[in-house]
């Protein structure tokens, strides 16, 4: 009998519901706000009433004692909690019971030579491949130069939360941190028993109060497209837009590509960074003023 107990997989549905309930203000749900409230957000009985289920049933969901909610109930709860599309998809994933799995070795993620070759052909845009736990699996030369100020570039979450340079590199660190944690939470919904993900969440929770607080919020969001604001030690401020593409031949992997708006100061700075990384090391050092 498998007695292995892993916190990441325990009552994921209850944790998600409690977190989302705590973040929804009564006025957002059309409820009166008079009087003192002992808990942040909505009460259990308020969510139950909005969803059209009994308070006892909703409590069993949060406590992990009700394991087979219907599609209709989940839709009603999603509506009551005002969940967006990403959060609704996550709700259905964590509410679907799966067989407990025996402990397995972490999967070894590799980038195919053809994908690495494709990255290398994009000489004017930073591009890299993320694994399912947001490990950085491969980069082109311009991406390496963009992230050159960090001690290690093995994982995007470890960069953001464990390297002090991140607060200077990310001009909007709070937004970058929230986005990264929400993407990791989404990945956890697909495979909560994945050893690499459990290991990463455990490390970050122990070493970063900021990560621990954001992880507890259960925000869910996938990477798609948005602007990122950086400050590079050599070329200065950059505003880069990114696109994320799923790698069909390697489920869980994503290609991230950054671009600057044509003719913008960021485009000039990115071009300068590209010219510097194409130089021999000695010439690059002289131009950048680095020791």
Does residue 278 carry a pLDDT above 90?
no
Residue 77 CA from chain centroid, whole number: 24
Residue 288's pLDDT band, with cuts at 50, 70 and 90, is: very low
What's the whole-model pTM score?
Answer: 0.80
Q: 181 and 271 share a domain?
A: yes
How much is the mean pLDDT over the chain? 85
Number of domain units in the chain: 2
pLDDT for the residue 286: 38
β-bridge mates for residue 155, sequence order? 135
Does residue 4 carry a pLDDT above 60?
no
For the stretch 221-233, pLDDT in tens is 876 667 899 999 9
Q: 153 and 11 share a domain?
A: no
Does residue 282 carry a pLDDT above 80?
no
Q: 262 and 124 share a domain?
A: yes
Residue 253 lies in a domain: yes
- From 65, 95, 125, the end of a domain falls on 95
pLDDT for the residue 185: 92
Q: 177 and 58 share a domain?
A: no
pLDDT for the residue 139: 94
Residue with tokens 């009166």: 32
Q: 249 and 129 share a domain?
A: yes
pLDDT for the residue 7: 41
What is d(CA 122, CA 158) in angstroms, rounded to the nearest whole number?
Answer: 26
Q: 160 and 271 share a domain?
A: yes
Q: Do 160 and 208 meet the contact criterion of CB atoms below 8 Å apart?
A: no
Q: 169 and 275 share a domain?
A: yes
Q: How many CB atoms lie within 10 A of CB 279?
A: 13
Residue 130 lies in a domain: yes
What is d(CA 255, CA 159) in angstroms, rounded to the nearest whole number?
Answer: 18
pLDDT for the residue 143: 95
β-bridge mates for residue 258, sequence order? 242
- The two three-digit tokens of residue 278, written as one number: 């194409």
Higher pLDDT: 28 or 283? It is 28
Residues in the chain: 291
**Whole domain around residue 175: which residue ranges?**
113-288
Q: How many CB atoms lie within 10 A of CB 29?
A: 16
What is d(CA 88, CA 74) in angstroms, rounded to the nearest whole number?
Answer: 9
Percent over 90 (pLDDT), the chain:
53
What is d(CA 24, CA 118) in angstroms, rounded to the nearest whole number?
Answer: 44
pLDDT for the residue 212: 95
- 9 three-class SS: helix
**Residue 231 is part of a domain; what is its CATH number?**
3.30.450.180
Does residue 204 carry a pLDDT above 60?
yes
Which DSSP string do the residues of 226-249 spell out, in sequence order?
Answer: EEEEEEETTTEEEEEEEEEEE-TT
pLDDT for the residue 10: 59
Please state whether beta strands 236-246 and 254-259 pair in parallel, antiparallel, or not at all (unpaired): antiparallel
Residue 3's pLDDT band, with cuts at 50, 70 and 90, is: very low
- The two three-digit tokens of residue 276, written as one number: 């510097």
Top mean pLDDT of 68-72, 142-146, 217-221 is at 142-146
Helices (H), the chain: 12-23, 44-51, 55-63, 71-80, 85-95, 113-121, 141-146, 156-162, 166-169, 173-190, 195-207, 209-216, 265-278, 281-288
pLDDT for the residue 222: 72
**Residue 58 is part of a domain; what is its CATH number?**
1.10.260.40
Residue 185 CA from chain centroid, whole number: 6
Residue 100 lies in a domain: no
pLDDT for the residue 24: 87
pLDDT for the residue 221: 83
For the stretch 97-138, pLDDT in tens is 665 555 556 667 889 999 999 999 998 999 999 999 999 999
Q: 143 and 85 share a domain?
A: no
pLDDT for the residue 145: 94
Residue 35's pLDDT band, with cuts at 50, 70 and 90, is: low
Residue 41 lies in a domain: yes
Does residue 279 carry a pLDDT above 70?
no
Q: 257 and 129 share a domain?
A: yes
């Amino acid at each position: 009998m498998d007695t292995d107990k892993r916190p990441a997989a325990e009552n994921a549905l209850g944790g998600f519901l409690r977190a989302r309930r705590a973040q929804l203000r009564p006025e957002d749900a059309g409820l009166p706000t008079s009087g003192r409230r002992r808990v942040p957000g909505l009460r259990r009985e308020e969510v139950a009433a909005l969803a059209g289920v009994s308070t006892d049933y909703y409590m069993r969901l949060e406590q992990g004692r009700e394991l087979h909610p219907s599609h209709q109930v989940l839709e009603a709860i999603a509506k009551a909690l005002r969940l967006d599309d990403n959060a609704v998809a996550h709700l259905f994933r964590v509410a679907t019971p799966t067989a407990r799995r025996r402990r397995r070795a972490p999967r070894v993620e590799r980038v195919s030579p053809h994908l690495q070759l494709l990255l290398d052909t994009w000489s004017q845009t930073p591009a890299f491949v993320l694994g399912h736990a947001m490990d950085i699996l491969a980069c082109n030369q311009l991406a390496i130069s963009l992230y050159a100020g960090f001690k290690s570039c093995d994982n995007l979450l470890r960069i953001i939360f464990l390297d002090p340079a991140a607060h200077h590199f990310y001009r909007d660190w709070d937004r970058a941190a929230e986005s990264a944690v929400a993407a990791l939470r989404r990945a956890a919904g697909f495979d909560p028993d994945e050893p690499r993900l459990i290991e990463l969440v455990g490390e970050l929770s122990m070493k970063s109060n900021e990560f621990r607080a954001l992880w507890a919020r259960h925000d869910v969001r996938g990477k798609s497209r948005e602007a990122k604001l950086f400050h590079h030690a050599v070329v200065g401020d950059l505003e880069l837009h990114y696109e994320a593409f799923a790698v069909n031949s390697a489920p869980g992997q994503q290609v991230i590509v950054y671009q600057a708006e044509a003719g913008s100061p960021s485009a000039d700075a990115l071009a300068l960074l590209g010219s510097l990384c194409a130089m021999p090391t000695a010439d690059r050092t002289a131009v950048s003023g680095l020791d």
